[in-house]
Amino acid sequence: MAYCTLEAAKDAGVTGTDAEVAAWIAAARERIDAYTQQVFEPTDLVVVADVGADGLVILPRRVRSVSAVMPVLEPDDGASLPPTAYRVTSSRVLGQVDAVHLAWGGYDDLVAGAESYNGGWLGLWDRWGAEQVKVVGSFGYDEVPQLVGQACALLAAHLQAQAAPSDADAVQDPSLQVDDEGNNVAIEDDADDGPSEGVVSASASTGSTQVDALLSGYLNRGASLIGGV
Protein backbone atom coordinates (compact mmCIF):
# COMPACT_ATOMS: atom_id res chain seq x y z
CA MET A 1 0.00 0.00 0.00
CA ALA A 2 1.02 3.63 -0.46
CA TYR A 3 1.13 6.64 1.81
CA CYS A 4 -0.44 8.89 -0.83
CA THR A 5 -2.56 8.53 -3.95
CA LEU A 6 -1.37 8.78 -7.54
CA GLU A 7 -3.39 11.97 -7.89
CA ALA A 8 -1.74 13.57 -4.85
CA ALA A 9 1.72 12.73 -6.17
CA LYS A 10 0.87 14.11 -9.62
CA ASP A 11 -0.50 17.30 -8.04
CA ALA A 12 2.83 17.62 -6.21
CA GLY A 13 4.68 17.44 -9.52
CA VAL A 14 5.41 13.76 -10.21
CA THR A 15 5.14 12.94 -13.93
CA GLY A 16 4.98 9.75 -15.98
CA THR A 17 2.70 6.76 -16.29
CA ASP A 18 0.73 5.50 -13.31
CA ALA A 19 3.29 2.73 -12.83
CA GLU A 20 6.14 5.24 -12.82
CA VAL A 21 4.34 7.53 -10.38
CA ALA A 22 3.62 4.54 -8.12
CA ALA A 23 7.32 3.66 -8.16
CA TRP A 24 8.26 7.15 -6.99
CA ILE A 25 5.63 6.94 -4.25
CA ALA A 26 7.11 3.62 -3.10
CA ALA A 27 10.59 5.17 -3.04
CA ALA A 28 9.26 8.08 -0.98
CA ARG A 29 7.61 5.69 1.47
CA GLU A 30 10.90 3.85 1.95
CA ARG A 31 12.65 7.16 2.70
CA ILE A 32 9.92 8.16 5.15
CA ASP A 33 10.04 4.85 7.02
CA ALA A 34 13.84 5.05 7.31
CA TYR A 35 13.71 8.65 8.52
CA THR A 36 10.88 8.36 11.05
CA GLN A 37 11.54 4.74 12.09
CA GLN A 38 7.79 4.29 12.00
CA VAL A 39 5.18 2.62 9.80
CA PHE A 40 2.04 4.51 8.93
CA GLU A 41 -0.36 1.74 8.00
CA PRO A 42 -1.20 -1.57 9.73
CA THR A 43 1.88 -3.78 9.38
CA ASP A 44 2.73 -7.17 10.89
CA LEU A 45 6.17 -6.92 12.51
CA VAL A 46 8.49 -8.65 14.94
CA VAL A 47 10.37 -6.27 17.24
CA VAL A 48 12.87 -6.71 20.04
CA ALA A 49 12.97 -4.31 22.98
CA ASP A 50 14.71 -4.03 26.34
CA VAL A 51 12.99 -4.93 29.59
CA GLY A 52 13.09 -1.88 31.84
CA ALA A 53 12.36 -1.24 35.47
CA ASP A 54 9.25 -2.90 36.88
CA GLY A 55 8.87 -4.99 33.72
CA LEU A 56 8.15 -2.06 31.42
CA VAL A 57 8.97 -2.76 27.75
CA ILE A 58 8.77 0.35 25.56
CA LEU A 59 7.92 -0.70 22.02
CA PRO A 60 9.65 0.99 19.07
CA ARG A 61 6.53 1.30 16.92
CA ARG A 62 2.95 2.40 17.40
CA VAL A 63 1.30 -0.81 18.58
CA ARG A 64 -2.12 -1.95 17.37
CA SER A 65 -2.20 -5.47 18.82
CA VAL A 66 0.22 -8.06 20.22
CA SER A 67 -0.06 -11.76 19.43
CA ALA A 68 3.05 -13.11 21.17
CA VAL A 69 5.65 -12.05 23.72
CA MET A 70 8.70 -14.20 24.46
CA PRO A 71 12.01 -13.72 26.28
CA VAL A 72 15.11 -13.42 24.13
CA LEU A 73 17.38 -16.24 25.30
CA GLU A 74 20.53 -17.87 24.00
CA PRO A 75 20.65 -19.80 21.77
CA ASP A 76 16.89 -19.86 21.22
CA ASP A 77 13.97 -17.70 22.25
CA GLY A 78 11.92 -18.82 25.19
CA ALA A 79 8.34 -19.99 25.03
CA SER A 80 5.62 -17.44 24.35
CA LEU A 81 4.16 -15.94 27.49
CA PRO A 82 0.43 -16.39 28.11
CA PRO A 83 -1.68 -13.21 27.99
CA THR A 84 -1.96 -13.29 31.81
CA ALA A 85 1.77 -12.50 31.99
CA TYR A 86 1.53 -9.04 30.44
CA ARG A 87 -0.72 -6.22 29.33
CA VAL A 88 -0.37 -3.95 26.32
CA THR A 89 -0.88 -0.20 26.02
CA SER A 90 -0.91 1.88 22.84
CA SER A 91 -0.38 5.53 21.99
CA ARG A 92 -3.64 5.31 20.05
CA VAL A 93 -5.15 6.05 23.46
CA LEU A 94 -4.42 9.62 24.57
CA GLY A 95 -1.97 9.61 27.47
CA GLN A 96 -0.76 6.05 26.91
CA VAL A 97 2.57 4.82 25.55
CA ASP A 98 3.36 1.94 23.21
CA ALA A 99 4.50 -0.72 25.63
CA VAL A 100 4.20 -4.21 27.04
CA HIS A 101 3.89 -4.27 30.84
CA LEU A 102 5.17 -7.55 32.24
CA ALA A 103 3.19 -8.73 35.26
CA TRP A 104 5.99 -8.63 37.81
CA GLY A 105 3.56 -8.76 40.72
CA GLY A 106 1.36 -11.51 39.29
CA TYR A 107 1.44 -15.28 39.06
CA ASP A 108 -0.27 -18.18 37.35
CA ASP A 109 -0.46 -21.50 39.20
CA LEU A 110 -1.22 -23.22 35.90
CA VAL A 111 2.14 -22.23 34.36
CA ALA A 112 5.20 -24.20 35.45
CA GLY A 113 7.70 -21.88 37.11
CA ALA A 114 5.27 -18.97 37.50
CA GLU A 115 3.27 -20.36 40.43
CA SER A 116 2.54 -18.15 43.41
CA TYR A 117 4.80 -20.29 45.62
CA ASN A 118 7.59 -20.08 43.02
CA GLY A 119 7.89 -16.32 42.80
CA GLY A 120 5.28 -15.78 40.11
CA TRP A 121 6.18 -14.18 36.81
CA LEU A 122 9.03 -12.20 38.32
CA GLY A 123 10.59 -15.34 39.74
CA LEU A 124 10.32 -17.10 36.41
CA TRP A 125 11.82 -14.14 34.59
CA ASP A 126 14.71 -13.93 37.04
CA ARG A 127 15.48 -17.57 36.43
CA TRP A 128 15.46 -16.93 32.67
CA GLY A 129 17.82 -14.00 33.07
CA ALA A 130 16.47 -12.40 29.88
CA GLU A 131 17.12 -8.69 29.32
CA GLN A 132 14.99 -8.37 26.18
CA VAL A 133 11.69 -9.60 24.78
CA LYS A 134 10.61 -10.36 21.25
CA VAL A 135 7.15 -9.01 20.48
CA VAL A 136 5.05 -10.22 17.55
CA GLY A 137 2.09 -8.12 16.54
CA SER A 138 0.46 -5.52 14.35
CA PHE A 139 2.06 -2.08 14.38
CA GLY A 140 1.47 1.23 12.64
CA TYR A 141 -1.38 3.69 12.21
CA ASP A 142 -4.92 2.68 11.33
CA GLU A 143 -4.86 5.34 8.62
CA VAL A 144 -2.02 7.35 7.09
CA PRO A 145 -1.86 10.74 8.87
CA GLN A 146 -2.60 13.71 6.62
CA LEU A 147 0.83 15.26 7.07
CA VAL A 148 2.52 11.97 6.21
CA GLY A 149 0.45 11.70 3.03
CA GLN A 150 1.39 15.24 2.07
CA ALA A 151 5.05 14.54 2.84
CA CYS A 152 4.99 11.40 0.70
CA ALA A 153 3.62 13.25 -2.33
CA LEU A 154 6.15 16.07 -2.00
CA LEU A 155 9.03 13.66 -1.46
CA ALA A 156 8.07 11.57 -4.49
CA ALA A 157 8.26 14.72 -6.64
CA HIS A 158 11.54 15.71 -4.99
CA LEU A 159 13.13 12.31 -5.65
CA GLN A 160 12.03 12.31 -9.29
CA ALA A 161 13.43 15.80 -9.81
CA GLN A 162 16.74 14.75 -8.28
CA ALA A 163 16.94 11.75 -10.61
CA ALA A 164 16.54 13.87 -13.77
CA PRO A 165 19.60 16.14 -14.02
CA SER A 166 19.35 19.22 -16.18
CA ASP A 167 21.47 20.01 -19.25
CA ALA A 168 23.58 22.26 -17.02
CA ASP A 169 24.29 19.31 -14.74
CA ALA A 170 25.45 17.28 -17.73
CA VAL A 171 27.85 20.05 -18.79
CA GLN A 172 29.32 20.23 -15.29
CA ASP A 173 29.62 16.44 -15.01
CA PRO A 174 30.56 14.71 -18.28
CA SER A 175 29.82 11.30 -16.75
CA LEU A 176 26.12 12.15 -17.09
CA GLN A 177 24.40 11.59 -20.41
CA VAL A 178 20.95 13.04 -20.95
CA ASP A 179 18.37 12.67 -23.67
CA ASP A 180 16.39 15.48 -25.33
CA GLU A 181 14.01 15.63 -22.37
CA GLY A 182 16.78 15.94 -19.80
CA ASN A 183 16.52 12.39 -18.48
CA ASN A 184 19.70 10.72 -17.30
CA VAL A 185 20.36 7.74 -19.60
CA ALA A 186 23.84 6.59 -18.59
CA ILE A 187 26.15 6.87 -15.61
CA GLU A 188 29.70 5.59 -15.74
CA ASP A 189 31.35 4.86 -12.41
CA ASP A 190 35.14 4.92 -12.56
CA ALA A 191 35.52 3.77 -8.98
CA ASP A 192 37.18 0.40 -8.47
CA ASP A 193 35.00 -0.52 -5.53
CA GLY A 194 31.90 -2.58 -6.13
CA PRO A 195 28.45 -1.75 -4.80
CA SER A 196 28.32 -1.26 -1.06
CA GLU A 197 26.37 -3.61 1.13
CA GLY A 198 25.09 -3.17 4.65
CA VAL A 199 22.13 -2.94 6.97
CA VAL A 200 19.67 -0.13 6.26
CA SER A 201 19.80 2.27 9.20
CA ALA A 202 17.87 5.30 10.33
CA SER A 203 18.34 8.30 8.03
CA ALA A 204 19.31 11.73 9.28
CA SER A 205 17.06 13.31 6.64
CA THR A 206 14.67 12.38 3.87
CA GLY A 207 16.71 14.61 1.59
CA SER A 208 14.11 17.37 1.67
CA THR A 209 14.03 19.92 4.49
CA GLN A 210 10.37 20.65 3.71
CA VAL A 211 9.46 16.98 4.10
CA ASP A 212 11.61 16.67 7.23
CA ALA A 213 9.62 19.50 8.79
CA LEU A 214 6.29 17.84 7.97
CA LEU A 215 7.46 14.58 9.56
CA SER A 216 9.11 16.09 12.64
CA GLY A 217 6.23 15.11 14.89
CA TYR A 218 6.44 11.45 13.89
CA LEU A 219 10.12 10.74 14.56
CA ASN A 220 10.78 7.59 16.55
CA ARG A 221 14.32 6.65 17.56
CA GLY A 222 13.38 3.71 19.77
CA ALA A 223 14.64 0.15 19.87
CA SER A 224 15.73 -1.58 16.67
CA LEU A 225 13.42 -3.33 14.28
CA ILE A 226 14.20 -7.03 13.94
CA GLY A 227 11.98 -8.08 11.08
CA GLY A 228 8.67 -7.93 9.28
CA VAL A 229 6.17 -10.56 8.30
Residue 106, pLDDT > 50, answer yes
Which one-letter DSSP state was computed for residue 111?
Answer: S
Could you tell me if 163 and 115 lie in one domain?
no
The domain total for the chain is 2
Could you tell me if 48 and 85 lie in one domain?
yes
Could you tell me if 74 and 86 lie in one domain?
yes
pTM: 0.69
Q: Which domain holds residue 175?
A: 6-40+145-186+200-218
Sequence-distant (6+) residues with CB within 8 A of 121 are: 55, 85, 102, 103, 104, 106, 107, 108, 114
**Residue 197 CB-half CA count within 13 A:** 1
- Are 64 and 142 within 8 A, CB to CB? yes
pLDDT greater at residue 210 or residue 226: 210
Residue 181, pLDDT > 60, answer no
Could you tell me if 155 and 133 lie in one domain?
no
Q: What is the dihedral of CA 51, 54, 60, 63, to 10 degrees?
A: 120
